[in-house]
C-alpha cells in the first residue's frame, strides 16, 4: 500500500458525529461540518466541550458511536489511523523519550515501510522545514518545550499528510514563543497546502490563524463561520461571551428600538422583531460624547490604561454597567465623571439566547 503518497485535495466531511463515554454525558453530540481542502479550520471552545474527542475521531483514534467521516467521496470512518492520510500533533507532544529526534520523526515512515534511503531524505527535509537541522541525534529531554513541539510537528508532516490535525499544539508555550510559532504554523500551512484542523481554547489564536472557526459548546457546534462573523455577529450569549470582551444589553424590543431599564432606548438593526431581547455590543463600538448628546449619560466607574487605548467601566442609568474601549485621549477621565455614550444601531447584535 502506498498510503504515504498524497491523495490529492479532498474536503473533509463530518456527518452527525456522536460519542459518549461510560463516565457521563455525550462528549460529542451531533457534529456536522464540511472542511474544505486546504482550509485552516479551528475548533474553538472551553475545556471539556468535545474538541479533542472530535479531533481523535477524525484521526481514527476514537470510534464514533454514530455518524460518519468522509474524505472526498470515501467513507473513512472504519479505517485505522495509519490509513487515513492524516498527521496529528498532540497537546503533550507524545515523543518517545529514549529515541533520538531523527528516530522520532522517522516513526510514521517506518510504520508505513518506506525504504531506508527515502526515510533519511524525508526526515532531513522535515527537520529543515521546522528549523531543527542539527538536532537529529539529541533526545527529546535535551530540547526546550518549543523545540519538542517542532519535533512533533516534523513527525506529523513527514508522512506528507493531506490533513494535519493539531490539538492545542502551542498551549504549553509562553506568549512570545506562541506568537512566533503561530506565524510559523501559518507559513507551513501555506507552503504545504494541506488541510488544517486546529484545536484551541484561545479565542485570539483562533481569530488570527483561521480561515473558519467552529465554536463548540457542550459537544455541539454553537456557531461556525469566518473569524469576522464570529466576532461581529455572534449568534448567542455563549459565543459573544467566549469570543472577546462583550457587553450584553437586556431589554424589550419595540418598534425598532430596544427599551432599557432606566428609561432610555437605542435603535436596533432593521427588521428586529418585538419582544424580550438581549443584544451584544463590543466595547470598541461604544463611543464617548458630550453629556446630554448621546443615547444616554453614564458615570465613569473605573478607568484602565492599556497603553494603546483605555478600558472604561461605565455605570448606566438603569444600574447596569457598560465596558467601553476608548482611544487613549480618554485617559484623562476619572471615576465619578459623567459622559455621554452612543453607537450605531447596527453595532447591536440581537442574540438567540
Ligand X SMILES: Nc1ncnc2c1ncn2[C@@H]1O[C@H](COP(=O)(O)OP(=O)(O)O)[C@@H](O)[C@H]1O
Whichever of 28 and 239 has its CB closer to Mg ion, that residue is 28
Buried b / exposed e across 172-207, counting CB within 10 Å, b at 16+? Answer: ebeeeebeebbeebeebbeebebbbbbbbbbbebbb
| Residue (167 or 347) nearer to ligand X, CB | 167
Counting contacts by CB under 5 A, is residue 52 touching Mg ion? yes
The verdict on 315 binding ligand X (CB under 6 A) reads no
Say whether residue 206 binds ligand X (CB under 6 A).
Answer: no
How far CA 94 is from CA of 49, 98, 171, in Å, comes to 22, 12, 14
Q: How many residues bind ligand X (CB under 6 A)?
A: 11
Based on the shown chain and the rule CB under 6 A, indicate whether residue 23 belongs to the binding site for ligand X.
Answer: yes
Helix/strand/coil for 179: helix
Among 29, 35, 44, 50, binds ligand X (CB under 6 A): 50
Q: Select from Mg ion, ligand X, none the partner in contact with residue 49, using the beta carbon and a kind-dependent cut-off of 5 to 8 Å.
A: ligand X
Supply the DSSP symbol for 72: T
The nearer residue to ligand X, 23 or 255, going by C-beta atoms, is 23
The rounded distance, in Å, linking the Cα atoms of 231 and 235 is 10
Closest by CA position to 67, among listed 97, 8, 128, 26:
26
Residue 239 in contact with ligand X, rule: CB under 6 A? no
Residue from 33, 44, 51, 294 binding ligand X (CB under 6 A): 51
Classified as helix, coil or strand, 327 is: strand
153 bridge partner residues? none
**Does 262 help bind ligand X (rule: CB under 6 A)?**
no
Per CB under 6 A, 52 contacts ligand X? yes
Q: How many residues bind Mg ion (CB under 5 A)?
A: 1
Smallest separation (angstroms) from ligand X to the CB of 346: 33
Whole-number minimum distance, CB 173 to ligand X, in Å? Answer: 18
- Which residue of 1, 2, 47, 276 would you call a contact of ligand X, by CB under 6 A? 47
Residue 303 vs residues 25, 144, 246, 336: alpha-carbon distances, Å: 43, 40, 17, 11
Q: Which residue has the cell 512566533?
A: 180
- The contact set with ligand X (CB under 6 A) reads 21, 23, 27, 45, 47-53
- The contact set with Mg ion (CB under 5 A) reads 52
Amino acid at each position: 500500500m502506498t498510503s504515504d503518497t498524497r491523495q490529492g485535495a479532498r474536503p473533509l466531511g463530518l456527518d452527525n458525529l456522536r460519542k459518549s463515554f461510560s463516565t457521563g454525558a455525550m462528549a460529542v453530540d451531533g457534529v456536522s461540518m464540511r472542511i474544505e481542502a486546504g482550509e485552516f479550520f479551528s475548533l474553538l471552545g472551553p475545556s471539556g466541550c468535545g474538541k479533542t474527542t472530535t479531533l481523535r475521531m477524525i484521526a481514527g483514534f476514537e470510534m464514533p458511536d454514530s455518524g460518519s467521516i468522509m474524505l472526498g467521496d470515501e467513507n473513512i470512518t472504519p479505517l485505522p489511523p495509519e490509513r487515513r492520510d492524516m498527521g496529528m500533533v498532540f497537546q503533550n507532544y507524545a515523543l518517545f523519550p529514549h529515541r533520538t529526534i531523527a528516530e522520532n520523526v522517522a516513526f510514521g515512515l517506518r510504520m508505513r515501510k518506506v525504504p531506508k534511503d527515502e526515510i533519511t531524505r524525508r526526515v532531513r527535509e522535515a527537520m529543515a522545514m521546522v528549523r531543527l537541522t542539527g538536532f537529529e541525534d539529541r533526545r527529546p529531554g535535551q530540547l526546550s518545550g518549543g523545540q519538542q513541539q517542532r519535533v512533533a510537528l516534523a513527525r506529523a508532516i513527514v508522512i506528507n499528510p493531506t490533513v494535519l490535525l493539531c490539538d492545542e499544539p502551542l498551549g504549553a508555550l509562553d506568549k512570545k514563543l506562541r506568537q512566533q510559532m503561530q506565524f510559523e504554523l501559518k507559513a507551513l500551512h501555506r507552503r504545504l497546502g494541506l488541510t488544517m484542523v486546529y484545536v484551541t481554547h484561545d479565542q485570539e489564536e483562533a481569530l488570527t490563524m483561521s480561515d473558519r472557526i467552529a465554536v463548540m459548546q457542550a459537544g455541539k457546534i454553537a456557531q461556525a463561520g469566518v473569524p469576522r462573523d464570529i466576532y461581529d455577529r455572534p449568534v448567542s450569549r455563549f459565543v459573544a461571551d467566549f469570543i472577546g470582551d462583550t457587553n450584553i444589553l437586556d431589554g424589550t424590543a419595540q418598534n425598532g428600538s430596544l427599551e432599557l431599564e432606566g428609561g432610555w432606548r437605542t435603535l436596533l438593526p432593521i427588521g428586529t422583531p418585538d419582544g424580550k431581547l438581549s443584544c451584544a455590543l463590543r466595547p470598541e463600538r461604544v463611543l464617548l460624547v458630550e453629556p446630554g448628546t448621546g443615547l444616554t449619560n453614564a458615570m465613569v466607574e473605573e478607568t484602565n490604561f492599556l497603553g494603546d487605548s483605555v478600558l472604561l467601566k461605565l455605570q448606566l442609568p438603569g444600574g447596569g454597567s457598560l465596558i467601553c474601549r476608548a482611544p487613549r485621549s480618554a485617559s484623562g477621565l476619572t471615576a465619578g465623571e459623567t459622559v455621554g455614550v452612543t453607537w450605531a444601531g447596527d453595532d447591536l447584535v440581537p442574540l438567540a439566547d
